[in-house]
Amino acid sequence: MNFVEKNILKLKQEIPSNVTLIAVSKTHPIEIIQQAYDAGIRDFGENKVQELISKQPHLPQDIRWHLIGHLQSNKVKYIAQFVHLIHSVDSYKLLVEINKQAQKSTRIIDCLLQIYIAKEETKFGFSFEEAEQLLRSEELKTLQNIRITGLMGMATNTENTEQIANEFKQLKFFFNSFSQHETQNLKLETLSMGMSSDYHLAIQEGSNMIRVGSVIFGNRNYQK
C-alpha cells in the first residue's frame, strides 16, 4: 500500500459517512492524484484555474473537480464546461459571470458562497450581512444557470481551538438559519468547512464537506 492510499484509508475511518471528502491536490502531479483516485477518491479540489485545466484532461473523466480558491471572473470560461462545484464565490459579479458561462455550456453550475469567518486580513468572502442580503435578493432569482447549494468558510490559522470552533459554530448557525429558505436556485445543503489542521473540529461543528490536502498527500513544496 502506498503513502497516499494509507492516508486515505485512515481518513475514511475517521470521518462520518455523511461527510464528503475533497482531496486537495494543488501542487501535486498527475501520478500522485491518480493514486488517490485508485484508492477510491472521486472529489478533487484545486485552487488555481490554470493548474486545474492543465491536469483535468490527463486524469479520469469521472472525477468531480472542485474549485476552492479565489476565482477571477475572466477565468470562469476555462472551467465552466466541467467544474463540479465552485466553493469560492465571493461576489455577486462573479456569480453573474458563472451564470453566463454556464448558460453558454448549457449547464447549471453548483456554487457555494464563501463566507469570511476568520480574524485575518487575507481571506476572501462575504460577511454574514452581505451573504444574507444576496441570499434574500430578487436579482439572485434571475440567475437561472447557477444554483447556490451551500456555504464555504475557512477558520483563522491559529492554535487556539476554541477560536476555530467558535468561527465554525457561527457559520453553522448562519447555515441553519437558511435551512428552510428554498427557491428555484437556492437550497443550502453543503457546508464546506475544515482542512487538514481543523477538520475534526469542523465536523464536530456540523461540516459535511472537508477539503483536505496535506493529510493525504503530505506537505506541499511550493518551490517547484
Ligand X SMILES: *Cc1c(COP(=O)(O)O)cnc(C)c1O
Which residues in this chain contact ligand X in the complex, by CB under 6 A?
24, 26, 47, 68-69, 195-197, 211-214
CB of 183 to ligand X, least distance (A): 27
Residue of minimal Cβ distance to ligand X: 213
Grid cell 513544496 in the structure block, residue = 221
The residue among 25 and 185 lying less far from ligand X, judged by its C-beta, is 25
Q: Are 26 and 47 in contact (CB under 8 A)?
A: yes
Residues 117 and 171: their CA atoms lie apart, in Å, by 7
Residues 33 and 31: their CA atoms lie apart, in Å, by 5
The residue among 109 and 210 lying less far from ligand X, judged by its C-beta, is 210
The residue among 140 and 211 lying less far from ligand X, judged by its C-beta, is 211
What lies within 8 Å, CB to CB, of 74 at 6+ separation is none
Half-sphere exposure of 179 (CA within 13 A, CB side): 9
Q: To 10 degrees, what angle do helices 161-177 and 128-135 make?
A: 20
Q: Write phi, then psi, for 151 (nearest 5 degrees).
A: -130, 150
The residue among 11 and 135 lying less far from ligand X, judged by its C-beta, is 11
CB of 45 to ligand X, least distance (A): 7
CB of 92 to ligand X, least distance (A): 20
Q: Are 117 and 78 in contact (CB under 8 A)?
A: no
The residue among 89 and 195 lying less far from ligand X, judged by its C-beta, is 195
CB of 182 to ligand X, least distance (A): 27
The residue among 70 and 187 lying less far from ligand X, judged by its C-beta, is 70
In angstroms, the Cα distances linking 120 to 64, 88, 116, 208 are 30, 17, 9, 24
CB of 24 to ligand X, least distance (A): 4
Residues 99 and 124: their CA atoms lie apart, in Å, by 20
CB of 90 to ligand X, least distance (A): 11
